[in-house]
Amino acid sequence: MAGFRPPKPEPKPGGLPFWKVLPAWLHDGLAVLSEKAYRMKMGQFRLPTRRFFMLNDPPLIRRVLVDEAGNYPKSDILGFMLKRLMGDSIFTSNGAVWRRQRAMLNPAFEATRVKLVFDQMRRAADEMTARLDAVADGRPHAVDIETTHVTADIILRTIFSESLDRERAEQVFTAFNRFQEIAYGLGMLRVFRVPTFLFFRRNREADRTARDIRGLLAPLIQARLDRIARGEAVPERDFLAAMIEARDPENDQPFDFRELYEQVAMLFLAGHETSASALAWTLYLIASQPDVQARLHAEVAAVLGEREPEIGDLRGMAYLRDVFRESLRLYPPVAFFAREPAVRECMRGKDVKPGSIVFISPWMLHRNIEHWEAPDEFDAGRFDTDKGIEAARCAYMPFSMGPRVCLGAAFAQQEAALILAMLIRRYRFETVEGHVPKPVARLTLRAENGVMLRLYRREAAA
């Protein structure tokens, strides 16, 4: 019997002319994929101004991201998209700048180890359930806004030791969603070497939304520095404290204010947006499959009972972990990575020159039928099969791989497991008839029309 096939954009016919491809690509990275793209090992797309390559073969991907990573720095397209928000942060920088930042941030992440922030995660999740109790009566509710609120609250607590209220959470959600849409479109225009300064209205709106987000973060950083200057007591175990203490290993210099802001902005935006996307899609998958939801509830109830979760409990939720892994396979938060070759290379007989762009897509790799059985179907049990274990080893990369692997991967997985466990124990989720989320890939993979679900308190449902 066929399994559950969650929403996926209909593949486009192959061989479309450029003038038909560009409008769709400006809006959504998934919109131009053909069915052949999911089966190929390497594709090529030519324009008069630039050549593009799409890799969908594990050895080629490993070559670019791991073995020869120094020859394939991040494309400046991503930097162009995000510069208004996070400048030359570790997420967008390359070369010596990136190596310096990584050397300074590695101890900062170690100093605030995942287990140290578990209580902050749990408090934020407790406040989330208090908010959801008010709407857990079966009415349709936008859970993607809630996942954004709780993940932004968690990352704000772990950076600044402060919580995020509803008003600021909605401001962040609205501003970042709009910024994604504008920045992605402007970035794709730059990919095609269309002069972006001609689109002055979009540039002005991107500047405004970036200022809105900066207005939340910069004052908090400055307030901490002012308190330190006055000799006042400040938190000593959050990310901001660790980054203020970080030193360049070569000259012992700290981050200046601009650098500090850029790293905080990177951590805040990347740290909550990707997790919010992953959680929203996971809740939709769970709501769509009552048998999966029932098994999850049984597992969580057996481990937790009625008590507060503790960090050791997460190791006992193997099925929950597999459900989340499968959600990340189907809906990786970052659907595309872009790299620019620094040297001339030959790949599968194709001449890859500097100035071209090499795309790697977790979305495509995770749905490659050569590596995954029934790749478009949800199957949390696939990771226990021989084929699934091998595919997870070579064709699974929701957090990238190599030197630029996500620093926050362990943080994100702990956060997701805790939030999902607390939600599944307390609520039953159902889909809303007629509402099917439409995945779109911009800076992150979101539902263009939101993720609407019905929630019921389990006591009330019983």
Binding residues, as ranges, are 406
Per the CB < 8 A criterion, the answer to whether 152 and 277 are in contact is no
Q: What are phi and psi of 430, to 5 degrees?
A: -135, 150
CA distances from 56 to 42, 278, 416 (A): 6, 22, 28
Sign of CA dihedral 16, 20, 25, 29: negative
Nearest to 358 by CA among 333, 337, 344, 332: 337
Coil, strand, or helix at residue 341? coil
d(CA 201, CA 254): 38
- End-to-end CA distance of the chain: give it in Å, rounded: 31
Q: What are phi and psi of 202, to 5 degrees?
A: -65, -40
**205, two tokens:** 């709106």
Residues 6+ apart with CB under 8 A from 406: 399, 400, 412
In one-letter notation, the amino acid at residue 121 is M
* Range list of H helices, 305-380: 318-330, 362-365
Element (H, E) at 78: helix 76-86
Per the CB < 8 A criterion, the answer to whether 158 and 122 are in contact is no
Per the CB < 8 A criterion, the answer to whether 435 and 449 are in contact is yes
Q: What are the b/e assignments for 416-453, b being 16+ CB within 10 Å?
A: bbbbbbbbbbbbbbbbeeeeebebbbbbbbbbeebbbb
Per the CB < 8 A criterion, the answer to whether 239 and 158 are in contact is yes
d(CA 384, CA 273): 29
Per the CB < 8 A criterion, the answer to whether 327 and 278 are in contact is yes
**CA torsion, points 424, 430, 435, 440, in degrees to nearest 10?**
20
Q: Count other Cβ atoms within 10 Å, centred on residue 67.
A: 12
Binding site listing for heme? 406
